[in-house]
Structure 1
Amino acid sequence: MSDQIKHECGIAFIRLLKPLSYYQEKYGTALYGLNKLYLLMEKQHNRGQDGAGIATIKLDVKPGHRYISRYRSMAQNAVADIFGYVHNKFVDIQNDTPELMQDAEWLKQNVSFIGEVLLGHLRYGTHGKNSIENCHPFLRQNNWMTRNLVIAGNFNMTNVDELLEQLYELGQHPKEQADTVTVLEKIGHFLDDENQELFDTYKKEGLSNVEITHKISENLNIAHILRRSAKTWDGGYAISGIVGNGDAFVLRDPSGIRPAYFYQDDEIVVAASERPAIQTAFNVGFNEVQEIKPGHALIVKKNGTVTQEIFREPQEKRACSFERIYFSRGSDAAIYRERKQLGRLLIDQILKSVNSDLKNTVFSFIPNTAEISFYGLVEGLHKYIKKVQKDTLIGRKDALSDQELDELLSMAPRVEKLAIKDVKLRTFITADADRKEMVAHVYDTTYGVIKNDVDTLVAVDDSIVRGTTLKQSIIKIIDRLHPKKIIIVSSAPQIRYPDCYGIDMSKLGQFVAFEAAIQLLKARGMENIIDEVYVKCKASLLLPKEEIINHVKDIYRPFTQEEISAQITKIITPKDTIAEVEVIYQTLDNLHIACPEHTGDWYFSGNYPTPGGNRVVNKAFVNWREGSDQRAY
């Protein structure tokens, strides 16, 4: 994505099902769990660069001994910083008494972070402050082991105000108006409730307090706690939590918006936001890693039993398609295939735009994240060329001259690397004029491969959000190569609507597609539609969220995709550009063909999977119309 946006946190959960001595004996280290957690987090570092954190819990620790450890970091390389901090705890032991590094039980009793239950988190801050206090895991502490709670997640709730009000009604006073706090306190409240109910039951049976403590630990009903906690959540979420006794869970929202995968065998249970992280860290096959079902929680009890249980009624699966286009790493086999298919499905539009003149067309891609869809495009072009060659040979086999035959057989797409990001260049100057000048040099280009004023340059991007980098940098740079025409091709459809489930795309005014639609309405004397949509959106905010519809669709309704693309082209083309410029977008139908199992397309279609989404998009329009820079949720 040429426009950088923040998005999608990552989770990593590990439960060791054997004693630590087992891993010491089999793998040569009692730090097996920590090492694997490090791998899981590093293999998902694309999911969070604003901070990270880990927490571990030791099972069956005697009273008076620490059993929960947590460390969070906002260092530039937060994961390395965290595990450097943890491993420093073993340096003196390794140097002074190395034999103790082989004693798993001694390490567990004497060194923090050596535990059987481990949780890691990588943070991308979508809004608000970016401080250590915003880094997961979050911890809710209590002297009762079974009332302690650690959570970390990849989520955004659209109805934080409603959830806070419910906490007030329960008598709580949350310290912060944030969805993470509300989720933590909501689960914590019903965890307390469950503890109290069990305590009262066992007290009536005449058990001692010590006996009751063990009985509560054995009989906590995690699924019941989660059902009560999540009843009114509206959002996309994958949340992992650990209770102080060692019970643990990973739950996924009812529409499957946010990704969550797991693997288990007789040694370990592991969950993460991305499948390849698990495959790489544990050397397991694609089919051995399963998705956590929407509306289900993967629950691992202290005794090691593993179940998937429903906590919310599953809805139509609307898994995020942006995960497939851009967010998740392309090393996932399914995502790799889908991104290539996105590239192939663009061929008809591109051939139409270049009049099928491949001889004078050069194909390239802009950010590295577009590389896989570019490969699919090139594969499709080769297939197209073979068809042209076959049809020509069949139809004109007796009429082709030697020169024509040579030209036919030499047909091939011209593929070049033309825009190369200079990662060393930092746009640190804050003055707008100076910053724009620096942005214009973020990419280097390859000279000497374009025929001046003859070649058309087709550059593939995976998605276009604001168009800022295209206008301020990329188009200016590739125009210096003197192509006749520049075609920017997005493997994603036009981004028209805000996200409210974890991605930093909440303000309508920042979308170039929205800007284009507004300009078209004004240019064609249809400004009344803007006013009408504002009135409808404003009125809708007084309704229950379940009754709200997305009125912002009316802004786009008068125009075809091609009309909006043409206006976007005008917006992102710098005034002094010599070459003709065109922008081509993937169609929504083709997106669904490429990603049939991930139909969450609200960014493009405006069809939100939860009622809160419609409230957010209408609120975002009201904010834009009133000149407010606030987020809509």
Structure 2
Amino acid sequence: MSDAIKHECGLAFIRLRKPFSWYQQQYGTVLWGLNKLYLLMEKQHNRGQDGAGVAAVKLDVEPGYPFMNRLRSANTGAIADLFRQIGEEFNDLQKYNPDIAQHPGLLKGHLSFLGELLLGHLRYGTQGRNNVEFCHPFIKRHTIPARNLALAGNFNLVNTEELFESVGVEPGAFQKQSDLAALMEVLHHFLVEADEAAPGATDILNVLRKAIPLFDGGFHVGGITGNGTGFVFRDAHGIRPSYYYINDEVIVAASERAAIRTAFNVAENEVQELMPGQALVAWPDGTYVIEQVVPAKERKACSFERIYFSRGSDEKIYKERQQLGYNLSKPVLEHIGYDLRNTIFSFIPNTAEVAFYGLLKGAEHYLNQIKIERIQSWGADVDPERLTEMINRKVRMEKIAIKDVKMRTFITEDASRSEMVQHVYDITYGTVRRGEDTLVVIDDSIVRGTTLRESIIRMLARLEPKKILVVSSAPQIRYPDCYGIDMSKLGDFIAFSAAVELLKERGQESLLQELYNECVSLHERNELHTRNVVKSVYKTFTNEEITAKIAQLITPAGLDIPVAVIYQTIEDLHAACPGNLGDWYFTGNYPTPGGNRVVNKAFMNYMEGKNARGY
């Protein structure tokens, strides 16, 4: 994605089902669980670069000794920083007692994170600041073990104020900035209530049944309690991804299937998806249950997981991204008049590479059909030289753009900053015939269009192609997200800006004020959640009209090389990714009422000139 946006976090949960001596005997190390936690987190490092954290709970600890520990880091390379600290503690213990690793029980008593329950998290901050205090897991401590709770998750909630009110908590300055703080207060409230009703026999399933219906958002949450209960649960629409793997040694859950497969070397069919509204609970005795804690609703799994966010090493995601590119080959071929002789295909950035392969396959499929038809038309009169030329004809592809190391501007002056931003990417000179070749580049999606206009288009223009065609494997992003992706300001979207420009050009700008007045009225009646008012901004125009305006907006001033844009259609997106139909950022069809409230609030902020989040 050329426009960097922050998105879904990563979760890792491990419950060891054997004594530590088992792992010592089977794998030669008592640290097997911690090693697997590190792998799970490292294989999901794409899901969080603002910080990381781990928590551990030890079972059957003597009274007076710590049984729950937590470590967090907001440093660069946070995962490595966490496990460096854990490793240093282990190494220090070995200095004093070189044989301690051969005595699992002794080591468990001295190594803080040698616990049977492990919880890891990678943070992409969408709320709060990038301080370590905002890194998950959060913990609640209590003198009664069962009332100690550590929580981490991949989620956004849009009703945090209501959640605090529901449990009678007046949030402090810190809590107001964190939806995890609200989620923690609600879960802990019901946890304490359950323990008071049945001391020592808390049923976490009943706690979840009471708490989860109160949460408006998309979520995949993991937790561990001080008495040794571990759990993972998923929202009723399945917005956020959740996968698990269980054998007689371990219970594992994570945000990505491929991470589990790699860390534990298991086949695809051995890793299961936790379905919408379900919870996986690992009891203190090592048994487990998977139960429907809230009724499943219409599945709306985030389509951006397949387009961009999840790692492409998952075989299904890899195929789906190729299909997204393949879907675009026909409209691209039509746009260039099927002139493959004078067209070069490439991709920007590297994350669009898999979709690029699909686009190439579509172009190659067309070219191969042409070859067959031409050769058949020659009949028996085949000239060897002409046949060789036809067979050797290829779709032209080049590595046009190279992303340099992240460039930091040392001067804050706007003109200087703009000049530096142009050089985030570099080009491969000599790949394009000046004034002859059309240059087709595919991107995962176009969010703000800023990087395209200020850097990529300017850079490509230095090659002096006949035309630049930007292809997006995602449809037009028109609406804010409030379920995990950091896209909550309408003014940031190039599609919204294009619609506003079209309204101005056609003398229909008054529609914006009318819609704003409607939002204010809904807000006064506490009905802002009832419908998406912003849909009316787009209704007047066709997709093609908005796309054409976007092409104008991403064209740098003074550039005389034509720039065009082609977007994926909603229909083709759903065909390519049939299991992930969540498309509210494209269609405005939010799965929960909170989504409508967020988009309308974002529009009000835009009209009032507020550079603020919609939730």
Q: Tell me the amino acid that sits aligned with residue 241 of structure 1.
A: G
Please tell me whether the aligned partners of residues 483 and 579 of structure 1 are also in contact (alpha carbons under 8 angstroms).
Answer: yes
Cα separation, partners in 2 of 1:546 and 1:270, compared to 1, 3 Å:
farther
SS of equivalent residue, structure 1 residue 415: coil
Aligned match of 2:51: 51
Q: Deviation of residue 493 (structure 1)?
A: 0.4
Q: Residue 605 of structure 2 contacts residue 614 of structure 2 at CA under 8 Å; is this kept in 1?
A: yes
Correspondence 1:21 to 2:3: no
Distance of aligned partners of 1:254 and 1:546 in 2 relative to their CA distance in 1, 3 Å threshold = farther
Q: Determine if the alignment matches structure 1 residue 326 to structure 2 residue 325.
A: no
Q: Which amino acid aligns with 2:51?
A: G
For the Cα contact (< 8 Å) 2:279–2:293, is it kept in 1?
yes
Distance 1:116 1:161 in 2: 35
C-alpha deviation, 1:428, in angstroms: 5.0
Q: What pairs with 1:46-445 in structure 2 (closer than 5 Å)?
A: 46-168=46-168, 176-177=175-176, 178-199=178-199, 216=200, 219-397=201-379, 404-427=386-409, 429-445=411-427
Query: Partner letter of residue 332 of structure 2?
Result: I
**Counterpart for residue 571 of structure 1:** 553
- Inter-partner Cα distance in structure 2 for 1:436 and 1:91: 49
- Cα 1:241–1:144, aligned 2, differ >3 Å: closer, same or farther? same
The 2-side partners of 1:562 and 1:400 are apart by: 44
Give every structure 1 segment of 4 or more consecutive aligned residues whose post-TM-superposition deviation is greater than 4 Å.
171-175, 398-404, 543-547
1:468 lines up with 2:467 in the alignment? no
- Give the whole-Å Cα distance in 2 for the aligned partners of 1:412 and 1:543: 62
Check conservation: 1:362, 1:457, Cα contact below 8 A: yes
CA drift at 1:313: 1.4
Query: What's the CA shift for 1:404?
Result: 4.9
Seen in structure 2, the aligned counterparts of structure 1 residues 185 and 428 have a Cα distance that, compared at 3 Å, is farther
Deviation at 1:293, TM superposition (A): 0.8
Cα distance between partner residues in 2 of 1:281 and 1:392: 51
Deviates more, 1:390-399 or 1:527-536: 390-399
Give 1:579's aligned amino acid: I
**Letter of the structure 2 residue corresponding to residue 41 of structure 1:** M
After superposition, the C-alpha distances for 1:496-532 in whole angstroms (9 at most, x for unaligned) are 0000011110000000000000000110111132122
Distance 2:202 2:381 in 1: 82
Distance 2:375 2:468 in 1: 32
Q: Which runs of 5+ in 2 are unaligned?
A: none
Alignment correspondent of 1:536: 518
Contact 2:479 2:588 in 1 (8 A): yes
The amino acid of 2:498's aligned partner reads A
CA contact (8 A) 2:237 2:277 kept: yes
Distance (whole Å) between structure 1 residues aligned to residue 511 and residue 376 of structure 2: 55
Distance in 2 (CA, whole Å) between partners of 1:173 and 1:510 is 30
Asked whether the equivalents of residues 440 and 471 of structure 2 are also in contact (C-alpha less than 8 Å), the reply is: yes
Question: Following the alignment from structure 2 to structure 1, what is the Cα–Cα distance between the partners of residues 5 and 101?
Answer: 43
**Which runs of 5 or more structure 1 residues have no equivalent in the other structure?**
200-215
- Bigger mean CA deviation after superposition, 384-393 or 564-573: 384-393
Secondary structure, counterpart of 1:541 in structure 2: helix
TM-score (ref. length: structure 2): 0.97
1:256 alignment partner AA: G
Report the secondary structure of 1:414's partner residue: coil
Aligned counterpart for 2:441 among listed residues 441, 459, 464: 459
Give the root-mean-square deviation of aligned CA atoms. Answer: 1.5
Deviation at 1:401, TM superposition (A): 6.0
Code of the residue aligned with 1:521 in structure 2: it is L
Q: For residue 509 of structure 1, what is the aligned residue in structure 2?
A: 491
What CA distance in whole angstroms lies between the structure 2 residues aligned with 1:402 and 1:85?
Answer: 69
Q: Structure 1 pair 173/484, CA: closer, same or farther in 2 (3 Å)? A: closer
Q: Work out whether residues 164 and 186 of structure 2, in 8 Å CA contact, stay in contact via their aligned partners in 1.
A: no
Offset at residue 64 of structure 1 (A)? 0.5
Separation of aligned partners in 1, 2:422 and 2:171: 49
Distance (Å, rounded) in 1 between the aligned partners of 2:460 and 2:94: 56
After TM superposition, the structure 1 stretch with the greater mean CA deviation from structure 2, 575-584 or 405-414, is: 405-414
Q: What is the CA-CA distance between 1:426 and the residue it aligns to? A: 2.8
Given that 2:522 and 2:528 are in contact with CA atoms closer than 8 Å, whether structure 1 keeps it comes out as no
How far apart in 1 are the matches of 2:219 and 2:406?
35
Change (3 A) 1:277 1:403: same
TM-score between the two structures when normalised by the length of structure 1? 0.95
CA contact (8 A) 2:529 2:594 kept: no
Q: CA deviation at 1:403?
A: 5.9
**Contact 1:239–1:252, Cα closer than 8 Å, also in 2:** yes
Task: Supply the AA of the counterpart residue of 1:369.
Answer: T
> Within 1, Cα distance between the matches of 2:408 and 2:257?
33
Cα distance, 1:578 vs. partner?
3.1
Contact 1:295 1:314 in 2 (8 A): yes
**1:562 correspondence with 2:511:** no
Matched to 1:536, the amino acid is: E
Contact 1:54–1:119 under 8 Å retained in 2: yes
Which residue identity does 2:277 align to in structure 1?
G
Match of 1:211 in 2: none
Kept in 1, the 8 Å contact 2:478–2:585? The answer is yes
